[in-house]
Amino acid sequence: MNAIDILLQFVAGEIDAKEFENELYTNEELGQLLQDSTLNWSGTYIAKSLNLYYYLIELNYSRIEDNVNAIGALELFFKRKDIKYSKTNKHNELYDFILTTQPKYIDIDGSFFEKFILPKNQNLSKVELKQLIKDNFNKYFKYQNKPPKWIQNPAWIIRDDKPLYFIGQLELKNDTFHDNGFVYIFANTETGEIESVKQLY
């Protein structure tokens, strides 16, 4: 399979993100194609990464958002090369489900979402599907009284694909700790171990 075919199959959803990422790091022909110096990326978000190859290898392919971004970048590439392509809507639909159903205090990657949150039965209306997704979030991300109120990005602790139980958060005062912030306390309900996350203003 040549380099163009790899790109076309990824955008069409015929090879998955993990396989595509592996090709990025091991396929010399693909790397050379994506570093084509004749393509002008000025005025696009790709320009910040020097070329398309460096933009793509900086992405995290376990995140649905990054898969959406990768496909969008490759669409720009195909248009500049005048190459016809077909595009899968799978990543966009999954990303839309995450945006509209994921609570603000949670930020999970695409693999966890697909494995545990997204219902296996896809033959449902969008309303039914979104309700089941919300129910699954509540099933996996449990808390004692209130969910965490993060001051930075959500950082719910997950161990071995199991979100820990959120107990609560304690405020840190700058007269003692030099900075204001919170410590978020989680419990592993299987082992009884306590873990924490610290965030400062």
pLDDT in tens, 24-33: 999 999 999 9
Q: Across the chain, where does the E strand assignment appear?
A: 158-159, 162-163, 165-172, 181-187, 194-200
Q: What angle do CA 157, 162, 164 make, to 5 degrees?
A: 45
Average pLDDT value for the chain? 92
Helix axes 64-81, 90-101, angle to 10 degrees: 140
**Quick one: residue 195, left, alpha or beta (phi over 0 = left, psi -120 to 50 = alpha)?**
beta
Contacts of 60 (CB under 8 A, 6+ apart): 66, 109
pTM of the full predicted structure? Answer: 0.70
Q: Stretch 119-148: mean pLDDT, rounded? A: 91
3-state secondary structure of 163: strand
3-state secondary structure of 181: strand
pLDDT in tens, 60-94: 988 888 999 999 999 999 999 999 999 998 888 88
Return the number of other C-beta atoms located less than 10 Å from residue 59's C-beta.
Answer: 19
The pLDDT-based confidence of 124 (bands split at 50, 70, 90) is confident
pLDDT in tens, 34-62: 999 899 899 998 988 889 999 999 999 88
The pLDDT-based confidence of 122 (bands split at 50, 70, 90) is low
Say whether pLDDT at 195 is over 90. Answer: yes
pLDDT of residue 114: 83
Return the domain boundaries, the chain: 3-81, 102-140, 158-200
